[in-house]
Amino acid sequence: MISGIVYLVGAGPGDPGLITMKGLNCIRKASVIVYDRLASPKLLAYASPDAEIIYVGKSPDRHAMKQHEINQLLVEKAKDGNIVTRLKGGDPFVFGRGGEEAEELVENGIRFEVVPGITSAVAVPAYAGIPVTHRDATSNFAVITGNEDPTKEESNIAWDKIATGIGTLVFLMGMGNLPHISEKLIQHGRSPKTPVALVRWGTRPEQRSLVGTLENIADKAKEADFRNPAIILVGEVVKLRDKLSWFENKPLFGKQVLVTRSRQQASALSRRIEELGGEPYEFPTIQVTAADDYTPLDNAIKNLSSYRWVIFTSVNGVKYFFKRLKILNKDVRELHGVKICAIGPKTREELESFGLLVDYVPGEYRAEQIVAGLKGNVQPGDKVLLPRADIARKILPQALAEMGANVEEVTTYKTILGAGDAGKVIEKLKQKELHVLTFTSSSTVRNFVKLLDVDNLNELLQDVVVASIGPITSNTARELGIDVTVEAKEYTIRGLVEAVMQTDSRD
């Protein structure tokens, strides 16, 4: 008996968040993933590091692999005993040729399961603000292939019936046949004034919509160079778009935003950009790693009770400090009687997750404000521990020392040059594909410049919005010749995103 199995999984229409939980589990447990052009590449991030990833995408002008070759590939991989996840855009059984693949598996005695996905026929109109049914417009809809050969002697589409018998018509992948589709519908009784919407790359940040009527939509599409992948939506429900459009009205819709944080920390900023309709492009310019030598930190941890204050200036500082505390077989009880300071709300939240109450958080999240706030609270002779990065600014320990404190600065983690693909970023800047650059620290700025290593940086950044998390980061950018467009008023990720939303970035 063949031990392998194939999961025919619908990946949804493009937005990776529209994958089902069952589909996601199939990706996670697969030893082989065979994926299509319309399946979001972001879903591959959930695959096992050991999984074999095979692209078999098809576009109108090029096929990575023909359908019969894909069928045979699934059979061969399953016969080798693999768990194969066949990741298909939309739903595998809605013009996805999943039925053909399933038949091939049956003929070869291969076990398979079908995991339905959200079809673009319903999801894409919804993201364009168009319900396929509406009580005041129509109670039915039909999904029709849009790429039937118009030169066929006998069509499989009953044009005479669907033209007037169905309220909403959804044609998938029919841009090449748009003039033919419009002509056939008008020829069989549909009014030339019937509203039509074209939606390209639906549910994704690059979604684009074009509205017209049956009599003019083909000309409009040609003029706008509107191409596949797109759906064609015909019916009175298209009129609801003016009222119900939501996705394309998001504040960052259509904007690609460069995220320069370390890969470990990028998710929070990327997630917020996506929520606001933008497309984050992660280019980690920094990487956070363990310190080279933990002897100074270990000694400090062994003598925590001797310190009056411990000041944490980053989330990373907290994480690495408590990781080391555990390695030394100690816990938060070692901090009994020690006052805790956190530079900002995220650092405070991280400390609170370990059951600690923070004694002081400055109103403005930078070292200068910590010093101002601790005046009168730090007495001459007090021991103060600063567990932080190896390249942290010296203003804080210097100022505390001037107040008479006995400051011990220990390296808790290192910040090194990231491994982002500078070539891709340079190309995106040349093609005007990046609209916003975000910098969350001076390190991200310095390493961005170092990684790109170009003489024409100002030219590449022309018309690009440069957003900084605060004045220290802004000053570093300006010193390196980068003009800062906007600076966060609150020096947090939330403040940075709010600042970006208030700018008019390039259309």
297 burial (CB, 10 Å; 0-12 / 13-18 / 19+) is buried
Q: Tell me which DSSP letter residue 357 carries.
A: P
Q: Which of 103, 120, 401, 418 is nearest to 264 (CA)?
A: 418
Give dist(CA 300, CA 384) in Å, integer. Answer: 10
In the three-class reduction of DSSP (H, G, I as helix; E, B as strand; rest coil), residue 306 is classed as: helix
CA terminus-to-terminus distance, the chain: 58
117, two tokens? 């996905």
Give dist(CA 52, CA 5) in Å, integer. Answer: 15
| Catalytic member of 77, 88, 91, 173 | 173
| Catalytic member of 22, 58, 220, 250 | 58
| Catalytic member of 36, 77, 255, 339 | 36
Give dist(CA 413, CA 288) in Å, integer. Answer: 7
Amino acid at 369: Q
15 noted as active-site residue: no
In the three-class reduction of DSSP (H, G, I as helix; E, B as strand; rest coil), residue 193 is classed as: coil
489 noted as active-site residue: no
36 noted as active-site residue: yes
- How far apart, in Å, are the Cα atoms of 229 and each of 171, 184, 278, 430? 11, 22, 20, 25
Give dist(CA 440, CA 488) in Å, integer. Answer: 10
∠166-168-172 over CA atoms, to 5°?
Answer: 110
Within 388-421, where are the H helices?
395-402
Beta bridge partners of 101: none
Q: Which of 278, 275, 245, 252 is nearest to 125 (CA)?
A: 245
Sign, Cα dihedral of 385, 387, 390, 394: negative
Q: With contact defined as beta carbons under 8 Å apart, do 404 and 397 qualify?
A: no
CA atoms within 13 A on the CB side of 361: 15
Chain centroid, CA 119 distance in Å: 21
Catalytic residues: 36, 58, 173
